[in-house]
Structure 1
Amino acid sequence: MQTSGFQRARSAEHKQQRRDEMLDAARKLATDRGVRAVTMTDIATEVGVHKSAVLRYFETREAVFLELATEGWREWIAACVPAVHASGADPAKVARAIADTLVERPLFCDLLAHAPMNLERGVSVEAVREFKLATFGHIDRFVEAVTTVLPSLTDADAHELVSAVNAFASTLWQITHPTDAVAELYRTDPQIGHAVGEFGPNLRQQTETFILGLLARRG
């Protein structure tokens, strides 16, 4: 049930404010609990409205998080590109620039795994199209930065790199952030305890290895 103080937004400005409040709530909840654990009802409760009020602004739960994924791409690229440019032509520093700017964005890393698995499957085709077009624009900036500092790499190489880093970050994030029950299993069972690892160091190592492989292929 809606809280007694809730009033439906009427003006465009108030509607945008209400929408932003819902995104802020989803962002906070997903950061605290993980994307998988947050429901539309949770978002509504955090804002102080009925679930039906959230549905006036977002077609599904997945639409909320797909918008946060779009935001995540924008913010990561805004940080990653200057860091790559500042790294010079050192592959290890380029890898660290890419990996560290991802490590600083845990929610984005979580969203990277959910986007293809379920977010894109729970929204309209037009919403997926908008998400892809926005993402491709950010990737173009990444490609330009990488090929500038590592000129022996082609645009195709840089596209392979961002695809690989996406896969590394999304998979490693899920592996290194298990549920509490599974985390306890890792802590108490020496036979499998080594399987978790640390997110940041593993991401840096895999990113650097991939860049070195691309450079070796180019000779």
Structure 2
Amino acid sequence: MEFQRARNETQRDERRRTILSMAWAMLEDMSVADVSLNELSRRVGLAKSNVLRYFESREAVLLELLNGALQAWIDDLDLSAISPASPPHERAEAVAGAIAQSLAARPVLCDLISAQASVLERNVSTDTVLRHKRAVLVSVEALSAKLRTPLPELDEGDIYKIIAIALLMTSGVWPHDRPTEALLAAYTADPEIGAHRMRFAPFMQEALALTLFGLLAGRVTI
């Protein structure tokens, strides 16, 4: 794929979408750590310097993908079947399960979340970080609105804690469910070690349920 220089804003937007689309395609086949600006440039048919005309760094590309993926996940998250009239413990389990399972079904999003603080926010300008953080706030507000319906007892602070813990646990747990070949070999060689392998969805569901139980216990009798 070869591009001539973009001559208007429409063409610039097209180049940006092409770069983002190719970066996403790469993430479907490799981890965030393996996505390089050189390879991205090669795949979109632009010189590295030209890619940098549209995004200031590899991390800026990936942050924009994270913003879109986070919002898409929240848009698709369906909590409508969880009745606020159900017992609190049932609602806690159902909400925890919905969040954990829906995140597990989006490996690219989980990989981006796991790299957010330690990698993606480290090689970008203040303006880029501000755009990213503002986009995250919009997503958090949208998720808060969805969580308030099945969890009417909880206040805004409680809801924020749930979201923060869900994202922080994703960041920490996801890499453990993507072990290296050496770790996989160790799990096979020693079943006792393998028994302690962390699985993303079950761990997330249990941890989120415990968080919700604790928050609800302060508001209602479970």
Q: By the TM > 0.5 criterion, same fold? A: yes
**Alpha-carbon distance in 1 for matches of 2:18, 2:75:** 23
Residues 8 and 184 from structure 1, CA distance in 2 versus in 1: closer, same or farther, beyond 3 angstroms?
Answer: farther
Residue 86 of structure 1 aligns to a residue whose secondary structure is: coil
In the TM superposition, residue 191 of structure 1 has moved relative to its aligned partner by: 4.0
**Alpha-carbon distance in 1 for matches of 2:160, 2:143:** 8
Counting matched residue pairs gives: 214
Give the equivalent residue in structure 2 for 1:118: 119
**Alpha-carbon distance in 2 for matches of 1:184, 1:28:** 29
Q: TM-score, normalised by structure 2?
A: 0.89
> Is there any run of 5+ residues in structure 2 with no aligned partner, and where?
85-90
Give the equivalent residue in structure 2 for 1:86: 81
**Alpha-carbon distance in 1 for matches of 2:98, 2:146:** 11
What does the per-residue CA deviation read over 1:25-46, in whole Å, with 9 as the maximum and x for residues that have no partner?
A: 1111122111011110111122
**Alpha-carbon distance in 2 for matches of 1:186, 1:46:** 36
1:34 paired to 2:34? no
Contact 2:162-2:212 at 8 Å conserved across structures: yes
Give the equivalent residue in structure 2 for 1:143: 144
Contact 2:3-2:46 at 8 Å conserved across structures: yes
What does the per-residue CA deviation read over 1:108-156, in whole Å, with 9 as the maximum and x for residues that have no partner?
A: 1111121111211211111111111111111112222222221111110
> Is there any run of 5+ residues in structure 1 with no aligned partner, and where?
none
Residue 192 of structure 1 aligns to a residue whose secondary structure is: helix
Q: TM-score, normalised by structure 1?
A: 0.90
Identity of aligned residues (%): 34
**Alpha-carbon distance in 2 for matches of 1:182, 1:126:** 39
What does the per-residue CA deviation read over 1:165-191, in whole Å, with 9 as the maximum and x for residues that have no partner?
A: 001212111100123333333333334
Q: Which has the higher contact order (CA 8 A, sep 6+)?
A: 2
Contact 1:84-1:98 at 8 Å conserved across structures: no
1:71 paired to 2:72? no
Question: When you count helix as a share of all residues, which structure comes out higher?
Answer: 1
* Aligned-partner residue type, residue 145 of structure 1: K
* Aligned-partner residue type, residue 5 of structure 2: R
Q: Which consecutive segments of 4 or more residues in structure 1 shift more than 4 A?
A: none
Give the equivalent residue in structure 1 for 2:193: 192
